[in-house]
Amino acid sequence: MTESETAEPEKWVKDFLLTWIVRFNFFFSHHVTRPLLPLYLVSFGASSTVVGAVIAVFTITSTVMRVPVGLYIDRLGRKPFLFYGIALFTVANFGYLWASSILLIIPFRILHGVGWSGCTTAIATLAADIVPRKRRGELMGYAGMASSLAGSLGPVAGFALYNAYGYPGVFWGAGALLILAVFLSKIVSEPKGSIASEKLGHWSEALLVREALMPALAVAFVSFGIGGTLTFLPIYAISLGLKNPGLWFAVFALSLLISRPIAGPLSDRISRRAVIVPGLILHMSSFLLLAFATSTNWLWAAAILGGFGVGSAQPALMTLSVDQTAPQRRGQSMAQYQCYYDLGIGVGSLFLGVLLDLTEQSFTLMFLTTAVVSLLGLCYYSTHSGASA
pLDDT tens digits along 322-350? 777 776 677 777 778 878 887 888 788 78
**Cα distances (angstroms) measured from residue 7 to each of 4, 12, 128, 315:** 5, 7, 14, 24
DSSP 8-state code for residue 203: G
Helix, strand, coil shares of the chain, percent, nearest 5, are: 85, 0, 15
pLDDT band at 10 (very low <50, low <70, confident <90, very high): low
What pLDDT sits at residue 96?
Answer: 92
| Model confidence at 389: pLDDT above 90 | no
What pLDDT sits at residue 194?
Answer: 53
Q: Has residue 198 been placed in a domain?
A: no
What pLDDT sits at residue 7?
Answer: 46
**For a pLDDT cut of 90, what percent of the chain falls above it?**
21
Q: Which residue has the higher pLDDT, 146 or 107?
A: 107
Q: Has residue 203 been placed in a domain?
A: no
pLDDT band at 192 (very low <50, low <70, confident <90, very high): low
**Cα distances (angstroms) measured from residue 187 to each of 79, 90, 91:** 9, 18, 21
Q: Has residue 101 been placed in a domain?
A: yes
> Model confidence over 85-127: pLDDT tens digits?
999 999 999 999 898 888 899 999 999 999 998 888 888 888 7
**Cβ-based neighbour number of residue 202 at 10 Å:** 7
| CATH code for position 54 | 1.20.1250.20
**For a pLDDT cut of 70, what percent of the chain falls above it?**
89
Q: Has residue 329 been placed in a domain?
A: yes
Q: Helix 363-384 to helix 330-358 angle, to the nearest 10 degrees?
A: 150
| Model confidence at 377: pLDDT above 70 | yes
Q: Has residue 52 been placed in a domain?
A: yes
Q: Has residue 201 been placed in a domain?
A: no
User: Whole-number mean pLDDT of the chain?
Assistant: 82
pLDDT mean over 201-212: 60
pLDDT mean over 154-166: 88
* Nearest C-alpha neighbor of 18 from the set 81, 82, 98: 82
Q: Has residue 286 been placed in a domain?
A: yes
Which range among 34-48, 50-64, 149-163, 172-186 has the greatest average pLDDT? Answer: 172-186
Contacts of 162 (CB under 8 A, 6+ apart): 36, 169, 170
What pLDDT sits at residue 177?
Answer: 92
DSSP 261-323: HHHHHHHHHT-SHHHHHHHHHHHHHHHHHHHT--SHHHHHHHHHHHHHHHHHHHHHHHHHHHH
| Model confidence at 6: pLDDT above 50 | no
Q: Has residue 357 been placed in a domain?
A: yes
Integer Cα distance of 3 and 8 in angstroms: 11
Integer Cα distance of 334 and 318 in angstroms: 8
> Model confidence over 222-252: pLDDT tens digits?
888 887 887 788 888 888 887 777 788 888 8
**Cβ-based neighbour number of residue 274 at 10 Å:** 17
Number of domains forming the structure of the chain:
1
**Are 374 and 286 within 8 A, CB to CB?**
no
Integer Cα distance of 290 and 236 in angstroms: 9
Domain that holds residue 161: 4-192+208-384
Measured CA angle at 224 (ends 353, 145), to 5 deg: 120
